C-alpha cells in the first residue's frame, strides 16, 4: 500500500543516491577521459538521477506503469489552457528567481548562457524535453503515487518542497518549489501526468528560447555599436518583473478557474472511501503521518549540504 512515509523515504534515498551517483559520474569522466559537451552532460545526468531511480522504484514496488502514473489523455481545452498558464506565470517565477539571485549566485544563468552556443533545438531537448519527462516521472509520478490518499493541498506542498530541494541549488529552490506545487495541481485536476509534463516543457523551453533570443540580440547590438551593452541594474530588473507579473497574475487566476471548470470530475475528491478505509481514518495511521523521520531527514540533508558547501 502506498503511503507518505514510503514517499518520504523514496526522496531521502534519492538524495543520497544522487550524491553518490554524481561523484561516480564525475570520476568516470576523469578516469576514462570522456569528452561530453554540456547537452550530453545534462541529458545523461537526468537519466542517471531520475529515470533509473524511477525504474528501480517500479521494480521494487512491483507496480505497473499504469498504477504509478496517471496516463489519462488531456482534452484540447486543457492543453490550450496549460500552455497559456505556463507562459503567463513565467514573469512571476522570474521575479522570484531575481529575488533569490540577490542572496545567492545564479549558477543557472551561467549554464543558460553556455547553452546559447548550441542550436536552440538541442538546448530545448536538454532543458525542455529531458526534465519534463524524467523529473516528472519521479515527482509527479512515483512521489505523488505515494501521496495519493493525502489531501491535495498537503500533497502539493510536500511535492513542491521536495522538488525544490532536489535541485540542490538555493537560487532555484524557491521557484522550483512553487513550480512543483503548480505542476501537482495541474496533474490533480486533469488526472493526468501529461498535464505536468506539458507545463514543465513549455516553461523550460520558453526560458531556453528567451535566453537564445536575448543573447543574439545583445551580441548583435554590441557588434553594431562596437561597445558592450551595460547590464540593467537589479532594481530596474526587479521593478520591471514586479509590474509585469502583477499585470499577468489576474489573467493566470482567470485561466486557472477555466482550467478547473474544464476538468470537473477528473480528480478524486478528498475524504472518499478507498479500499474500505476512509481517508480520515488513514490520516491517523503512522504510515500516513507526513512529518516522519524520513521527512526530517530530507530537510536536514538539505540544510547540511548547503552549510558544508558554504563553509568550504
Q: Give the pLDDT of the chain (312 residues) as one tens digit per residue.
A: 788 999 999 999 999 999 999 999 999 999 988 889 999 999 999 999 999 999 999 999 999 999 999 999 999 999 999 999 999 999 999 999 999 888 888 788 888 889 989 999 999 999 999 999 999 999 999 999 999 989 999 999 999 999 999 998 888 899 999 999 999 999 999 999 999 999 999 999 999 999 888 776 666 565 576 566 566 788 888 999 999 999 999 999 999 999 999 998 776 554 433 433 333 434 444 567 788 899 999 999 999 988 887 776
Q: Read off the C-alpha cell for 283.
A: 490520516
CA distances from 175 to 181, 251, 291 (A): 10, 19, 23
Check if the beta carbon of residue 151 is closer than 8 Å to that of residue 270. yes
Is there a contact between 169 and 153 (Cβ–Cβ < 8 Å)? no
How many CB atoms neighbour CB 215 within 10 A?
15
The set of cell numbers assigned to 234 is 537589479
pLDDT at res. 180: 97
Q: How far apart are CA 32 and CA 92, in angstroms?
A: 43
CB 246 within 8 A of CB 167: no
CA angle 255, 257, 260 (to 5 degrees): 110
Tally of residues, the chain: 312
Contact 203, 86 (CB under 8 A): yes
pLDDT at residue 230 in the model = 65
Which among 215, 198, 221 is positioned nearest to 118, based on CA atoms? 215
Question: DSSP labels for 146-176?
Answer: HTTTS-HHHHHHHHHHHHHHHT--HHHHHHH
Rounded to the nearest angstrom, the gap between the alpha carbon of residue 192 and the centroid of all alpha carbons in its chain is 16
Q: What is the reported pTM?
A: 0.90
C-alpha cell at 269: 475528491
pLDDT of residue 312: 64
If you search the block for the grid coordinates 552532460, which residue do you land on? 41
* Residue keyed to cell 520591471: 240
Q: Are residues 96 and 174 in contact, defined by beta-carbon separation less than 8 angstroms?
A: yes
Containing 2, the helix (H) or strand (E) segment is none
- Which residues, 6+ apart, have CB-to-CB distance to 136 below 8 Å? 183, 193, 196, 197, 200
Q: Sign of the CA dihedral 95, 97, 101, 106?
A: negative
pLDDT at 122: 96
Amino acid at each position: 500500500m502506498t503511503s507518505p512515509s514510503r514517499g518520504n523515504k523514496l526522496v531521502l534515498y534519492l538524495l543520497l543516491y544522487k550524491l553518490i551517483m554524481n561523484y561516480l559520474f564525475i570520476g568516470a569522466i576523469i578516469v576514462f577521459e570522456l569528452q561530453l559537451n554540456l547537452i550530453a552532460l545534462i541529458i545523461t545526468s537526468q537519466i542517471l538521477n531520475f529515470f533509473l531511480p524511477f525504474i528501480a522504484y517500479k521494480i521494487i514496488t512491483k507496480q505497473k506503469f499504469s498504477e504509478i502514473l496517471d496516463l489519462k489523455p488531456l482534452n484540447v481545452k486543457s492543453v490550450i489552457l496549460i500552455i497559456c498558464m505556463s507562459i503567463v506565470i513565467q514573469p512571476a517565477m522570474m521575479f522570484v528567481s531575481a529575488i533569490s539571485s540577490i542572496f545567492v549566485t545564479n549558477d543557472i544563468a551561467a549554464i543558460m548562457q553556455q547553452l546559447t552556443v548550441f542550436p536552440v533545438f538541442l538546448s530545448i531537448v536538454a532543458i525542455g524535453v529531458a526534465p519534463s519527462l524524467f523529473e516528472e516521472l519521479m515527482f509527479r509520478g512515483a512521489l505523488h503515487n505515494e501521496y495519493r490518499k493525502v489531501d491535495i493541498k498537503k500533497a502539493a506542498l510536500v511535492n513542491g518542497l521536495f522538488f525544490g530541494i532536489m535541485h540542490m541549488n538555493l537560487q532555484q529552490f524557491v521557484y522550483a518549489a512553487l513550480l512543483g506545487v503548480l505542476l501537482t495541481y495541474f496533474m490533480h485536476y486533469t488526472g493526468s501526468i501529461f498535464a505536468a509534463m506539458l507545463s514543465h516543457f513549455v516553461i523550460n523551453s520558453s526560458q531556453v528560447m528567451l535566453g537564445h533570443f536575448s543573447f543574439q540580440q545583445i551580441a548583435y547590438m554590441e557588434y553594431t555599436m562596437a561597445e558592450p551593452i551595460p547590464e540593467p541594474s537589479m532594481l530596474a530588473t526587479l521593478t520591471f518583473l514586479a509590474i509585469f507579473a502583477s499585470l499577468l497574475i489576474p489573467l493566470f487566476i482567470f485561466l486557472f478557474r477555466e482550467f478547473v471548470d474544464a476538468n470537473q470530475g477528473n480528480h478524486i475528491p478528498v475524504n472518499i472511501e478507498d479500499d474500505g478505509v476512509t481517508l480520515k481514518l488513514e490520516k491517523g495511521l503512522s504510515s500516513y503521518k507526513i512529518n516522519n523521520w524520513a521527512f526530517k531527514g530530507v530537510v536536514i540533508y538539505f540544510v547540511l549540504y548547503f552549510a558544508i558547501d558554504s563553509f568550504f
